[in-house]
Structure 1
Amino acid sequence: MKNVTDSFVSLGDWPYAGSFAFNTDILATNPINLSVVLGVLIFFGKGVLSDLLDNRKQKILSSIRNSEELRAKAIEQLEKARARLRKVEIEADKFRVNGYSEIEREKGNLINSTYENLQRLENYKNEAIQFEQQRTINQVRQRVFQQALQEALETLNSCLNSELHLRTISANIVMLGVMKEITD
């Protein structure tokens, strides 16, 4: 521990650098040791360094080749996707056009069927009106005929004797039978 504290104490004894100068003493700067160490490093490190650089170069080249292959595959897939997109767009346009024409066709069919239904309903309405008119006319005829017959009978009953009365009734019965056959 004393050596450590002595080294700090001795730092205070160092002279301050006043100016910058080269040390030309060969033994003090130790260039021989440095050149030997550098020579050994260059001699033995050259192979290791060249191997490292060659490995790195090979990795970079293989990465570039892989990247080029991936790029080529990506371009190929992109072209295929674009072709599929164009095909799908064409089909979508066809469906859109066919869809619009189908909608128009269905619209026309719906309008036609609605018109036909309206015509049918109009015919049913007209037939019902004619039936009711005919029935009403027949009812009015029957009432008028019954009233006329009643008035005629009342007139005959008041004016006629019993023999004439019986002949008139027989004639009227025959006429009623004929009229009934006509109306049926």
Structure 2
Amino acid sequence: METLLFLAEAHSEVESGFGLNLDIFETNLINLTLLVGILVYFGKPVLSKILTERRSKIAEQIQAVEQKQKQAEVTLAKEQKKLEEAKVIAAKIRSEATTNAQKARETILAQGEKEVQRLKEVAGKDLSSEQEKAIAQLRERVVGLALERTRSQMENVLNDDVQRKLIDSSIAKLGG
């Protein structure tokens, strides 16, 4: 056996290449084995504990994020519902304003017609040409008044304050 070792060493020295040193004491193979064994024996519980703690922290963080996501989804659904309700209210206010404007227009036109009839009766005493002029002027006036009153009522119904109140109430509802 010693001869083989000697030949292997001699051969490696001659070629200056790779050689095998099979001497256990010279290569510290026992010391390295003991060191690795001690590290595995004592390091395994510590490493396991560190990895377990890290795993539990990650799991807790994931659960917290999932819970926040669910809360955000619930809040989003509530706020979207409030937004839809605000849109319905706004549409209702617009339709009511349109209805009120139409009623005001009809009332003004009815009053204008009554006034035209009255003026026709009074103007019957005048000449026919003057009567036609008066009727034409009255019609223009009635149309102008109707348009002006309708416009003013529309401005009163849909003025900046009403719009601002609608927006503020919608924001308040959305805000909680």
Q: TM-score, normalised by structure 1?
A: 0.50
Aligned to 1:83, which of 49, 55, 76?
Answer: 49
Cα pair distance change 1:57/1:130, threshold 3 Å: closer
Decide which of 108, 111, 135 is 2:74's aligned counterpart.
Answer: 108
Amino acid at match of 2:116: Q
Query: What does residue 104 of structure 2 align with?
Result: 138
Structure-2 residue corresponding to 1:58: 25
> What letter is aligned with 2:63?
V
Unmatched segments (≥5 aa) in structure 2? 1-21, 127-148, 157-176
Q: How many residues of Structure 1 are paired with residues of Structure 2 in the alignment?
A: 110
Q: Percent identity?
A: 4
**Post-superposition CA distance 1:92-124 (Å, at most 9, x none):** 221222122111100011011111211221221
Q: Which amino acid aligns with 2:76?
A: L
| Change over 3 Å in CA distance of 1:57–1:98 after alignment to 2 | closer
Which consecutive residues of structure 1, in runs of 5 or more, have no partner in the other structure? 1-54, 162-179
Output the CA distance in 2 between the equivalents of 1:127 and 1:151: 36
* Shift in Å, 1:57: 5.9
2:61 equivalent among 88, 95, 98: 95
Indicate whether 1:121 and 2:87 are aligned. Answer: yes
Q: CA deviation at 1:56?
A: 4.1
* 1:3-52: CA deviation from partner (whole Å, max 9, x where unpaired): xxxxxxxxxxxxxxxxxxxxxxxxxxxxxxxxxxxxxxxxxxxxxxxxxx
1:149 and 2:135 correspond: no
TM-score for the superposition, normalised by structure 2: 0.52
The alignment yields a C-alpha RMSD, in angstroms, of 3.1
